[in-house]
Homo-oligomer: A and B are copies of this chain.
Amino acid sequence: MLIVKKFGGTSVADKDRIYNVAQRCIEDYREGHDVVVVLSAMGDTTDDLISLAKTINPEPKKRELDMLMTTGEQVSVALMAMAMDAMHVPAVSLNAFQVKMNSTSRYGNARFKSIDTKRIRHELDSRKIVIVTGFQGVNKYEDITTLGRGGSDTTAVALAAVLHADKCEIYTDVDGVYTADPRVVKDARKLDAITYDEMLELATLGAKVLHNRSVEMAKKYGVELVVRSSLNRSEGTIIKEKVKMEKMLITGVAADKNTARISVIGVEDKPGIAFRIFNTLAANNINVDIILQSVGREGTKDISFTVAEDELKRALEVLEEYKEALTIQDITYNAKVAKISVVGAGMMSNPGVAAKMFESLYNSRININMISTSEIRITVLIDEKDIEEAMNAVHEGFALALVE
């Protein structure tokens, strides 16, 4: 069996943890499996390097920032190979140049284009554990790129895809994917399995276990993922195309506080105005999420929408700049809002899900500001202060904790 195992920065933050990771990889190796390990930079290394860069130049060029940051993973992989060597297991570390992890040109946010498997195959064939730097690629100029947030997960999934790995294990500091954040909902239950689509909805909504891009790539190439803890032996959560329904409508409840509502008041009720508003925001790289349009006074319209809270300031600036052209009379906003979502492939064939969710929130006297739905997700916007109560209410409403 060929297993790709990815460990994040906290899992390799010090000597003991490096040895812990080495041990887990060696167990698979000793059972006769081929093992490819993908590592992030140790602990806070990446942040430290960015801080160092900013002391030299407050706005470093992304090309040079990538050149700098990628040293972090190279340190991790070299140390891991040394640890395995100390444990008498042949291992070899490889960086993006050595593997030939070809990426698009865009520094700081590159995508993989192709990965050469020859070197890795050669090392596996000579029965070595292969340890690869996560997060990094090489573009057509032969410059180092980084993949942006969640990049090491993407590296692991990409390697699993091109190597046709039997398993791709993503190790984190949680046991797996939960029906809700266990720090908020104490009855939250670990899921044995979840579909790619459900995971994508959860990841987008801030479940933070896996980055979207890695799940999208896993879905595209049919790579079966396992999310599990590097700190214990729990089985984790499998993420795949189809999951046996466990009589559950809903897979999980997710919250996202990084959201803000903006309302543009009294815009002309003419065709194309809404389009121009959202087009202007998009042209400024501001992603709009939930949209609600309502009739305003004297034949005008009010349009409300949500943006990520950290993009609120820029969104307001853009709207202010184009206020007149967009026929906006007034702009209001509220950063103290949050999204709560229920996700589940089961809701496609069950029309009562939305009603159930609204009922749970109503019973807890929680006000709903806006609503957005997809085939397998219902999201509502509520006041930020209500978020914990809302999560528990919804979780309980769907009895997520009870179904086994």
Contact = CB atoms under 8 A, between A and B. Distances in A.
A142 B122 CA distance: 13
Interface string A27-66: 0000000000000000000000100110111101101110
Given A68-B75, A142-B119, A82 B56 contact: yes
Chain A contact residues, majority secondary structure? helix
Contact of A82 (B18, B61, B81): B61
Interface string A103-134: 00000000000000001000000000000000
A64 B86 CA distance: 12
Contact of A93 (B67, B95, B119, B142): B67
A15 B65 CA distance: 16
A278 interface: no
B55 A78 contact: no
Interface in A334-392: none
Contacts of A85: 57, 60-61, 64
Contacts of A327: none
Interface string A69-93: 0110011011101110110000011
Given A64-B93, A93-B64, A93-B67, A98 B56 contact: no
Given A64-B85, A82-B61, A56 B142 contact: no
Contacts of A53: 78-79, 82
A8 to B, nearest CB: 19
Contact of A64 (B58, B61, B82): B82
Contacts of A74: 67-68, 70-71, 74
A360 to B, nearest CB: 51
A216 interface: no
A305 interface: no
Contact of A68 (B61, B64, B78): B78
A65 B78 contact: yes
A309 interface: no
A134 to B, nearest CB: 15
Interface size class of A (residues with CB under 8 A): 35 or more
B61 A71 contact: no
Given A56-B18, A57-B83, A71-B71, A78 B97 contact: no
B86 A57 contact: yes
A143 interface: yes
Nearest to A100: B142
Nearest to A52: B79
Interface in A293-327: none
Residue of A78, A81, A97 contacting most chain B CB atoms (<10 Å)? A78
A82 B98 contact: no
B60 A142 contact: no
A97 B142 contact: yes
Nearest to A81: B64
Given A74-B68, A97-B97, A56 B15 contact: yes
Contacts of A57: 82-83, 85-86
**Which 6 residue pairs are nearest across A and B when measured between Cβ atoms?**
A71-B71, A68-B78, A57-B82, A67-B78, A57-B86, A97-B97
24 contacts: A15-B55, A15-B56, A18-B56, A53-B78, A56-B83, A57-B83, A57-B85, A58-B86, A60-B85, A64-B78, A64-B85, A67-B74, A67-B77, A67-B78, A67-B81, A67-B95, A68-B74, A68-B75, A68-B78, A70-B74, A71-B71, A71-B75, A98-B142, A119-B142
